[in-house]
Amino acid sequence: MPEASLPKDFLWGFATASYQIEGAVHADGRLDSIWDTFCRKPGKIADGSSGEVACDSYNRTGEDIALLKDLGAKAYRFSLSWSRIIPLGGRNDPVNQPGLDFYVKFVDDLLAAGIVPMVTLFHWDLPDALDKRYGGPLNKEEFTQDFVHYARTVFEAMGSRVKHWITFNEPWCSAVLGYNVGVFAPGRTSDRSKSEEGDSSTECWIAGHSMLLAHAMAVKVYRDEFKERDGGEIGITLNGDWCEPWDTDDPADVEAWQRRLEFVIGWFADPIYFGHYPASMKRQLGDRLPNFTPDEAELIKGTNDFYGMNHYCTNYIRHRSDPADANDFGGNVDVLQENKAGEAIGPPTQAVWLRPYAQGFRKLLNWISERYGGPKIYVTENGTCILGENDKSREEILEDEFRVWYFRTYIQAMAEAVGVDGVDVRGYLAWSLLDNFEWADGYGTRFGATYVDYEGGQKRYPKKSAKTLREIFEGLIKKE
Ligand code: GCO
């Protein structure tokens, strides 16, 4: 009888991102990233805060590693700040040795503690100079070459130690939230070419295209120059929430539901697995969606050694029939949390977009596995915030039963996808090791399995959920 289970060498642990935890934004030669400058603009961050201090992890690496060890983590996913390594970002700009040394030592310390490093090269914090110089990913030629130079610098310095590389984290968020909606850095909402016609933005499609090519070029460099020496693997991390049709009896909603998955996941995964964009996107966007030249298509196809999957929640999807009301980036749909019958998909949390529904995780794992030919998957983020958590006392926050329930049900659903449905999931990194700077939401929304007392000397207190993960995984990972 197949049953919920996880393979013997299953890699589990926690995830973070540089700008959300490191602080020390001008230490040892680091210069501004687009998030430093974005946070200085009034009204962009809910509580007017920034990542200037964050969890001060730059100065507390020993503490963070001891915490990971205590919690039983086998792996740690973190990202590098490009602005520490090449502060001005470009291929002709100087490499900042102290910034590079910091990460090399951090990786060595993790390895000494028996924790496997999983390294993300780009988690949204582009060097500000590259935005100012040429618009970052809006300039394909410059951006791809600079990214590749940065990637090569990092592979050279720590490739022999790191076996799991992630090029980009959630390019959908960078592209859409940074270049269309404008709620993330660099906060662009303008349109360079079509605004006079009243058309909606083209920039996010250009930014996404550049990131895809930068990913592909970095993978090629890794495979050509480092893979034989280092024996590691490399892939991209994509966000993907599951969804269900708002009205299952309405064919237009059923179609919109699939279109939505293609616009969020297929936008990046189809080129990587098939060498082209989804037909639904080409149909809706026409020539606003860049084309891959035959060489580019060849270059990008097959560039995932694994599929990195970030997953949080499920939504209902309703089609939009009025073209004047098109929201292009979402596939021209409404994203709702109740279906036609008024049933909520899951309980509310502190984030308006996040409603837990664990079976959606299992369904999405199956959808990805079927569509992309059963790739090896790492769940590179999964976690939740809690409604009103930040208003509670520390004692109450540490008893985070809601998060315990979330992890239990989600990890169980993943183990069903693996043990019962046969999806090839090899790892799981909980978001997040620490409460941290939650981008435009600031510090009011806590995603940590560990409480960080920002005013109380940055002390870390593991919540109940952090301590429960080991037990959950021990119950599901096969002994042999
Ligand atoms: C992401 C993010 C995290 C967020 C998390 C919660 O990749 O979306 O990596 O940075 O903090 O998703 O919103």
Residue 281 covered by a domain: yes
* pLDDT reported for residue 202: 84
* pLDDT reported for residue 320: 87
Q: Does the reported pTM lie above 0.95? A: yes
Residue 337 covered by a domain: no
Q: Give the binding-site residues of ligand 1, using a 6 Å CB cut-off.
A: 17, 20, 169-170, 173, 239, 310, 381, 431, 438, 447
Residue 331: which of 287, 281, 265, 277 has the closest Cα? 281
First and final CA of the chain: distance in angstroms? 17
In the predicted structure, residue 177 carries a pLDDT above the cut 80: yes
Count helices and strands in the chain by DSSP H and E runs: 18, 13
Give the Å distance between the CA of 173 and the centre of ligand 1: 9
User: 449-466: per-residue pLDDT in tens?
Assistant: 999 999 999 999 999 999
For tokens 């540089």, what's the residue?
Answer: 18
- Give the count of domains, the chain: 1
Q: Report the nearest-CA residue for atom 4 of ligand 1.
A: 438
State both tokens at 320.
């939009």
What CATH code is carried by the domain that includes residue 205? 3.20.20.80
Residue 334 covered by a domain: no
Residues of the chain above pLDDT 90, percent: 91
- Residue 200 — very low, low, confident or very high, per pLDDT cuts 50/70/90? low
Give the Å distance between the CA of 372 and the centre of ligand 1: 24
Give the whole-angstrom CA distance, residue 116 versus residue 278: 35
Q: Which of 177, 309, 355, 439 to mutate to test the pocket of ligand 1 (most atoms within 8 A of CB)?
A: 439
State both tokens at 69.
């060890």
Domain that holds residue 148: 11-242+274-311+357-476
Residue 377 covered by a domain: yes
Active site residue 225: no
SS3 assignment, position 13: strand
Residue 332 covered by a domain: no
Residue 466: which of 115, 51, 78, 69 has the closest Cα? 69
Give the whole-angstrom CA distance, residue 224 versus residue 94: 24
Average pLDDT, the chain: 95
Mean pLDDT within 109-118: 98
User: 294-308: per-residue pLDDT in tens?
Assistant: 999 999 999 999 999
In the predicted structure, residue 192 carries a pLDDT above the cut 50: no
Q: What are phi and psi of 314, to 5 degrees?
A: -130, 150
Rg, Å, the chain Cα set: 21
List b or e across 73-106, with b for residues whose CB sees 16 or more CB atoms inside 10 angstroms. bbbbbbbbbbbbbbbbbbeebebbeebbebbeeb
Residue 255 covered by a domain: no
Other CB atoms within 10 Å distance of the CB of residue 330: 17
Residue 179 covered by a domain: yes
In the predicted structure, residue 193 carries a pLDDT above the cut 80: no
- Residue 477 — very low, low, confident or very high, per pLDDT cuts 50/70/90? very high
Q: Report the nearest-CA residue for atom 10 of ligand 1.
A: 17
Of 142, 170, 262, 389, which residue is the catalytic one?
Answer: 170
Give the Å distance between the CA of 295 and the centre of ligand 1: 33
Active site residue 203: no
* pLDDT reported for residue 211: 98
Give the Å distance between the CA of 294 and the centre of ligand 1: 34
User: 410-458: per-residue pLDDT in tens?
Assistant: 999 999 999 999 999 999 999 999 999 999 999 999 999 999 999 999 9
Give the whole-angstrom CA distance, residue 319 versus residue 346: 21
In the predicted structure, residue 163 carries a pLDDT above the cut 80: yes
For tokens 């197949």, what's the residue?
Answer: 2
* Pair 461, 453: CB distance under 8 Å: yes
* pLDDT reported for residue 325: 52
Give me the residues paired with residue 379 across strands.
Answer: 309, 428
* pLDDT reported for residue 196: 43
Residue 287 covered by a domain: yes
* Pair 127, 86: CB distance under 8 Å: yes
* pLDDT reported for residue 315: 97
| 178-182, 197-201, 327-331, 367-371 — most confident range | 367-371
Mean pLDDT within 345-368: 98
Give the Å distance between the CA of 349 and the centre of ligand 1: 15
The amino acid that residue 164 corresponds to is H
ipTM: 0.91
The amino acid that residue 427 corresponds to is G
Please state the atom number of ligand 1 nearest to the C-alpha of residue 17.
10
Mean pLDDT within 54-61: 98
